Amino acid sequence: MTTKNNTLFSRRDLLTLIGKTAGGGAMYQAMTSLGFAAESNYNGPPKLDGAKKGASVLVLGAGLAGMAAALELRNAGYSVKVLEFSNRAGGRCWTLRGGDTFTELGGAVQQCGFAKGEYFNPGPWRIPYHHHAVLGYCKRLGVALEPFVQVNYNALVHSSKAYGGKPQRYRHVQADYQGYVAELLGKATTQGNLDAALTKEDKEKLLEGLRRWGALDTQFRYLEGTVSSDRRGYEVDAGGGLMPLAKPSKPLDMSELLQSNLWRYIASGQDYEFQSAIFQPVGGMDMIAKAFQKEVGSLIRYGAKVTKIEQNDRGVTVTYTDASKGGAVTQAKADWCLCTIPLSVLSQIDIQVGSAMQEAINAVPYGASVKVGLQFKRRFWEEDEHIYGGISYTDLPISRISYPSTRYGAKGKSVVLGAYVFDGPNSYEFTAMAPEERVRRAVEFGTQLHPQYASEFDNGISVGWHRVPGTHGCYGIWTDETRQKHYKNLCQVDGRIALAGEHASYIPAWQEGALLSSLDAIQRLHARAVA
pTM score: 0.87
Q: Check residue 40 and give its pLDDT.
A: 65
Q: How far apart are CA 431 and CA 434, in angstroms?
A: 8
Q: How far apart are CA 314 and CA 214, in angstroms?
A: 68
Contact by Cβ (8 Å): 332, 310: no
Contact by Cβ (8 Å): 389, 408: yes
Q: Check residue 423 and give its pLDDT.
A: 85
Q: How far apart are CA 475 and CA 508, in angstroms?
A: 6
**Burial of residue 336, with CB atoms counted within 10 A of its CB: 0-12 exposed, 13-18 middle, 19 or more buried:** buried
Those residues of the chain that have pLDDT short of 70 are 1-40, 240, 242
Sign of CA dihedral 317, 322, 324, 328: positive
Q: Reduced to 3 states, what is the DSSP secondary structure of residue 334?
A: strand
Q: How far apart are CA 371 and CA 245, in angstroms?
A: 44
What does DSSP assign to residue 372? E
Nearest in space to 231 (alpha carbons), one of 207, 219, 218, 248: 248
**Residue type present at position 418:** G
Q: Read off the pLDDT of residues 502-515 as tens digits, 9 standing for 90 and up.
A: 999 999 999 999 99
Sign of CA dihedral 283, 284, 289, 290: negative
**Burial of residue 252, with CB atoms counted within 10 A of its CB: 0-12 exposed, 13-18 middle, 19 or more buried:** buried
Q: Read off the pLDDT of residues 95-135 as tens digits, 9 standing for 90 and up.
A: 999 999 999 999 999 999 999 999 999 999 999 998 999 99
Q: Reduced to 3 states, what is the DSSP secondary structure of residue 56?
A: strand
Q: Read off the pLDDT of residues 247-260 as tens digits, 9 standing for 90 and up.
A: 999 999 999 999 99
Q: Check residue 39 and give its pLDDT.
A: 55
Q: How far apart are CA 503 and CA 486, in angstroms?
A: 12
**CA distances (Å), origin 321, targets 57, 306, 307, 311, 336:** 19, 7, 7, 18, 20
**Strand order of the sheet with strand 304-312?**
328-334, 315-322, 304-312, 350-351
373 bridge partner residues: 417, 461
CA angle (497 as vertex; 494, 500 as ends), nearest 5? 100
A 10 A CB-CB count for 503 gives 31
Q: How far apart are CA 228 and CA 214, in angstroms?
A: 8
Those residues whose C-beta lies under 8 Å from the C-beta of residue 182, and which sit 6 or more positions away, are 210, 211, 213, 214, 215, 216, 220, 222
Domains of the chain: 11-33+162-260 (1.20.1440.240), 48-87+291-366+479-530 (3.50.50.60), 96-125+145-153+276-281+367-465 (3.90.660.10)
Contact by Cβ (8 Å): 181, 325: no
Range 4-29 burial, b when 16+ CB lie within 10 A, else e = eeeeeeeeeebeebeeebeebeebbe
Cα-atom radius of gyration of the chain, to the nearest Å? Answer: 26
Cis peptide before 246 (omega within 30 of 0): no
Q: How far apart are CA 412 and CA 187, in angstroms?
A: 52
**CA distances (Å), origin 394, targets 70, 262, 391:** 42, 9, 10
Q: Check residue 10 and give its pLDDT.
A: 41
169 bridge partner residues: 156
Nearest in space to 450 (alpha carbons), one of 396, 412, 370: 396
